[in-house]
Amino acid sequence: MKTVLAVGLSPGIQKTILFPDITAGGVNRSRSYRLDASGKAVNAARVLLQLGGNLIQCLCPLGRDNGELFMSLARLDGLEVTPVWTGGNVRYCYTLIEENSGTITELVVGEPVVPSESPPVEIFRAELDARLRHTDFLVIAGSIPAPWPAGIYSSLITGARSAGIPVLADFQGAELRRCLDSTVPDIIKINAQEFLATFTGIDPTEIIHDDELGDLVASTSRSHGCTLIVTRGLEPTVCATPGSVGFYPVTPVKAVNTIGCGDAFNAGFIHALLAGGILEQAVEEGHRCASANARSIRPGSILD
C-alpha cells in the first residue's frame, strides 16, 4: 500500500444545482442540489480513495468561518484532511446544470482578501514536511489565491524532490514557470489552452494542428526533462516524455457534469503508476476515471 498526499491552496465548497433549463434574466427554480468538499487536489484525492488500494491524505488551508462545513463534507467521503486554519471563508463554487440542453456553467466565487490576515505559510510548510516523511507520491493542484506568496508551490516541490518523492503538478502560468526555473516536477498535467498560454506565445483560442501541438509538447518535455500530459477534452490526449510523444484517443461519453474530470484523470493516472503500470496504461486509466466522473452529478467521483 502506498501513501498519496494531495495538496492544494484552493479548496472549495461545491454546490451542484440541477435545473431543467435556465432563462437569463428570469427566475429559475432548481430541481435539486448537492454539496461537496471540492477543489482540484480534493477531487483527485476522493477519486483515489474510491479506486482503493492506497492511503490517501489531503493538506489544504481552510477559512475558520466555514471550514467546519468543509471538514464535515470531507468526513462523509472518508477523506483524511489536515486543515491549516486561516481567516475568512473557504470559497464557494457553483455548478449550474441544465438537464434539457446538457449545458454546464461553473461559477467560482473568490473570497475577498483580508489585509490584516497573513497566510500561515510556515505552518503549512511544516505540516507538509511532517507528512512527506511518510508519503510515496505527491500531487499539487490548483491555483494560488491571494495573499499566498508567489513561488510557494515551487518551494513545496523542491522539498518533495529533495526527499525523493515523485510529484505530479496540475497548475499553470507564472507559478508553473517559476517551478521550472528551480525544481521541475516529475509529471506536469495541463490542458491544451493552459499549455499554450504557459509555454508558447500562441493565442490559446487559436486552432493548432496535431502535428504542431505534438512537436511543441515534445520539445517542452525534452527541454525540462519531465513527463508532460496535455489533455484536450474529447480530442486525443498528448503525452510526452523526454524521448517520445504519443496521442491517446478519448472514448466519448454522454456527460452529465464535466467538473472534476481533469482531477479524476490525475487520480487514475497516479493509481495506475503506483500499481506498476507503464505510461500508456496510466493514461488509459486516467481516461477511464475522467469518463466515469463525466457521467456523475458529483464532481470528483467515479462511483455516483
Structural domain includes residue 300: no
Torsion angle in degrees (nearest 10) through CA of 254, 262, 82, 86: -100
Average model confidence (pLDDT) across the chain: 95
Q: Give CA–CA dist 19/161, Å, rounded.
A: 46
Q: Give CA–CA dist 45/273, Å, rounded.
A: 15
Cell of 24: 437569463
pLDDT digits (tens, 9 = 90+) for 57-77: 999 999 999 999 999 999 999
Helices (H), the chain: 40-51, 67-76, 121-132, 152-162, 173-182, 192-199, 210-224, 261-274, 279-294
pLDDT digits (tens, 9 = 90+) for 37-48: 999 999 999 999
- Helix or strand holding residue 134 (H, E): none
Number of domains in the chain: 1
Judge residue 146's burial from the number of C-beta atoms within 10 Å of its C-beta, 0-12 exposed, 13-18 middle, 19 or more buried: exposed
Structural domain includes residue 164: yes
CATH number of the domain residue 200 falls in: 3.40.1190.20
pLDDT digits (tens, 9 = 90+) for 223-253: 999 999 999 999 999 999 998 999 999 999 9
Cell of 153: 508551490
Structural domain includes residue 71: yes
Cell of 223: 527541454
pLDDT digits (tens, 9 = 90+) for 180-219: 998 999 999 999 999 999 999 888 888 889 999 999 999 9
| Domain around 121 | 3-21+32-294
Beta carbons within 8 Å of 116's beta carbon, 6+ residues apart: none
pTM value is 0.96
Structural domain includes residue 301: no
Structural domain includes residue 197: yes
The percentage of the chain sitting over the pLDDT mark of 70, rounded to a whole number, equals: 99
Torsion angle in degrees (nearest 10) through CA of 155, 260, 16, 69: -40
Structural domain includes residue 205: yes
Whether the CB-CB separation of 35 and 8 falls below 8 Å is answered with: no
**Cβ atoms < 10 Å from Cβ of 143:** 17
Checking if the pLDDT of 114 tops 80, the result is no
Structural domain includes residue 299: no
Structural domain includes residue 26: no
Q: Give CA–CA dist 300/46, Å, rounded.
A: 6
**Cβ atoms < 10 Å from Cβ of 133:** 8
Beta carbons within 8 Å of 47's beta carbon, 6+ residues apart: 260, 263, 264, 267, 268, 289, 293, 300, 301, 302
